[in-house]
Amino acid sequence: MQVQEDKPYDDINITPMLDLAYVLLVIFIIMTTASVQGVKVDLPHGSSTQSLAVPKTKVISVSNSGQIFMDAIPLSIGELETKLRDAMAVTPDLPVVLKGDRQVQYEKIMTVLDLCGRIGLKSIGLASQHIAGS
């Protein structure tokens, strides 16, 4: 049996194409999970009111341990004041939504609210969960 070496190669190697598909799948999974903002807090339940969140809203979260976060970045109260002042320099009527875990001490929430009032924030919303059927 003689092998023809001049014959064109008819098979297509799909391994590089599969490698690319897997890389794109991994990138998609990472980007969709990274786009979720905020820190998971157990919100108290409220009435069926409209959400106050708008695209440029800053979200301040207080976890059940009392740790303060702004847009999922852990901050001290002094760092929070600096970040809010910087954001207000760009957007004077900056809206803020405060998400406090139902287990957090009320004093931590009041500290954040006092800070917001002291630096002159006028649009402050408190987040709660909506219970279906109420």
pLDDT tens-digit readout, 28-67: 888 776 655 566 666 666 665 555 544 478 888 888 888 9
Convert the pLDDT of each residue in 101-114 to its tens digit: 888 888 888 999 99
Predicted pLDDT at 5: 66
Q: Which domain holds residue 96?
A: 45-130
Residue 1 lies in a domain: no
Residue 104 resides in a domain? yes
* Greatest mean pLDDT range, 8-12, 81-85, 121-125: 81-85
Domain membership of residue 14 (yes or no) is no
Q: Please state the pTM of the whole predicted model.
A: 0.57
Number of structural domains, the chain? 1
The reply to whether 26 falls in a domain is no
Residue 53, pLDDT score: 47
| pLDDT-based confidence at residue 13 (cuts at 50, 70, 90) | confident
Do the domain assignments include residue 126? Answer: yes
In a domain, 73, yes or no: yes
Is the Cα torsion angle 123, 127, 131, 134 positive or negative in sign? negative
Quick check: 26 pLDDT over 50? yes
pLDDT above 80 (res 133): no
Has residue 32 been placed in a domain?
no
The CATH number covering residue 103 comes to: 3.30.420.270
**Residue 11 lies inside a defined structural domain of this protein:** no
Contacts 24+ apart (CB under 8 A), 51-59: 52/95, 52/97, 52/123, 52/125, 53/97, 53/125, 54/95, 56/91, 56/94, 56/95, 57/95, 57/96, 57/97, 58/84, 58/87, 58/94, 58/95, 58/96, 58/97, 59/96, 59/97, 59/99
pLDDT cut 90: percent of the chain above it: 20
